[in-house]
Amino acid sequence: MKSISGIPASYGIAIGSAFVFDRAEIVFEPHTIEDPAAEWLRFEKAREDTRSQLDEAYQVTIEDLGEEEAEIFNAQKLMLNDPELINTVKSRVENELINIEFALYETAESFARQLDAIEDEYLSARALDIRDVSSRCLRNLLGINESPAASLTTPSIIVAQDLTPSDTVLLDKDFVLGFCTAEGGSTSHTAILARGLGIPAVVGIGEGLEEIKPGDNLVIDGDGGEVIINPDKKTIKEFTARQSRLKELQAEAEAVSHQPAITTDGHQVEVVANIGNVDGIQSALDAGAEGVGLLRSEFLYLERQNLPSEEEQYQCYKTIADAFGELPVILRSLDVGGDKEIPYIDMPPETNPFLGVRAIRLCLTRPDLFKPQLRAALRAGYGNNLKLMFPMVATVGDVESILEVLEECKEELRAEGQTVAEKMDIGIMIEIPSAAVLADQLADVVDFFSIGTNDLSQYTMAADRTNAHVATLASGFQPAVFRLIKIVIDAAHAKGKWVGLCGEMAGELLAIPILLGLGLDEFSMNPPAIPYAKRLISSISYEHAKQVAENAIQLRSDQEIREYIKKEVPEVNPG
């Protein structure tokens, strides 16, 4: 028996045999060709086959996870048609008379290496996508079976160096008990897929992967980040008991999911949903959401070649707001740049997109993007409980500029005879450390804050969350991050404003007691996490949570904080 530590990526326990996901190597030799035109026809056929496969992958992912997760395959189709890539490949075939496999591989790898060298989260993800789509095209050229997934015929734990979007979508989810990868972090594609499907996962185990052989019996602890190879009978018995307790927990959570989140001593908070499109309405309501704490608007800009009209946006926002009735719906303005790119929106390349012109910075320079969205929201908010929230705010000046444009939109709509929401609540996301430090000033000019811990953690700790070597450093459980959260909540409450949190931490059971004790008013999370969060909140006292939070933020590491919570609040670890 051997234990390996990694990064907890998706909650739960998995016990089963290892299925080592190992692709057949793509092998070819460079050689001289005599007919470039014929070689190019081969490439066009392979590209067409690849497009069809990406379309199929998109549809499968839509059914399994939803539109937002499926969008990666549309992005890959755009890469497949990228003029710079295609023209470079064609030039090498025609001018150097080399075979298409070598020309494609060399060109794609050159592009990917350039992105890797910059060491940026967004660009690293794009490098993986370039390699993924070029490998798919190469397999079509060479007639190689696309994936070893076809040989997965029994329930197993998937073990891999890493998994691309193409890899994961081809797996029969009925046979996937858990995921274990050497690479990746809490926001890797594997982690996102696992959480969406409710499958336990541990990522970033590094060289520990080499210890696992096909057919080895494994235990995956998605909460503790532990992988146990060939456990003894006592260990299997222990984890089997935890699995059973988790099933009981699920039943308990579902029983309270449609009740208010009230602590044992009467303190109530809101538990709301993060959704990314109209399709998310029903899953949020079914899970017991008390509204929407984060409505991502990017879905309206994807899968198309031009900007959505004001009317299209209005109809969509109104449909969602109407569905929730009197419950609040918080619409986040367009958040692109960084790790989100829209092909038809001209965004010049930047050395570090995460520190560049993204989100509200982009919108304030592009009225053609910003004003139609604001106008649509103001119209949709009439008669509904729709609120507006703006991402990546760094200064009070940012808010003043936003409010100026918003007032212009109101005046335009009134002049046109349109009905508008005159008193719509306006909030900002706290994602940048400067905004946390300036929370007392920002609270004077907005109605609420929503803390985005994914970016706040990364910017505070100067660490890439997807890099396994520093993923722990980028954890939201770092004392520095919790202290910033406390600064924000205290500053807002002093001005009579409320604070929500819409990052991954809002749904993490270990984080909830601390956030509750710090005074967080609203927890916004993916719908599957809502029942568990409500159950936990209703099982602990607010006074105890306040003491726990006070003690936790005095600790010196994220691991100390996690261990302390497990000890002081046993309800977070019912298994």
List active site positions: 189, 502
- Contact between residue 460 and residue 480 where contact means Cβ atoms under 8 Å apart: yes
> How many CB atoms sit inside 10 A of residue 123's CB?
22
C-alpha neighbours within 13 Å on the C-beta side of residue 37: 0
Extract the tokens encoding 377: 């929201």
| Spatial separation of the C-alpha atoms in residues 128 and 137, rounded to whole Å | 14
- Which residues neighbour 504 within 8 Å (Cβ) at sequence distance 6 or greater? 186, 187, 453, 454, 476
What pairing do the DSSP bridges indicate for beta strands 448-451 and 522-525? unpaired
- Contact between residue 293 and residue 330 where contact means Cβ atoms under 8 Å apart: yes
- Contact between residue 453 and residue 504 where contact means Cβ atoms under 8 Å apart: yes
Q: Which of 123, 221, 187, 224 is nearest to 453 (CA)?
A: 187
Length of the chain: 575
Reduce the DSSP state of residue 168 to 3 states and report it: helix
Reduce the DSSP state of residue 545 to 3 states and report it: helix
Reduce the DSSP state of residue 259 to 3 states and report it: coil
Amino acid at residue number 451? I
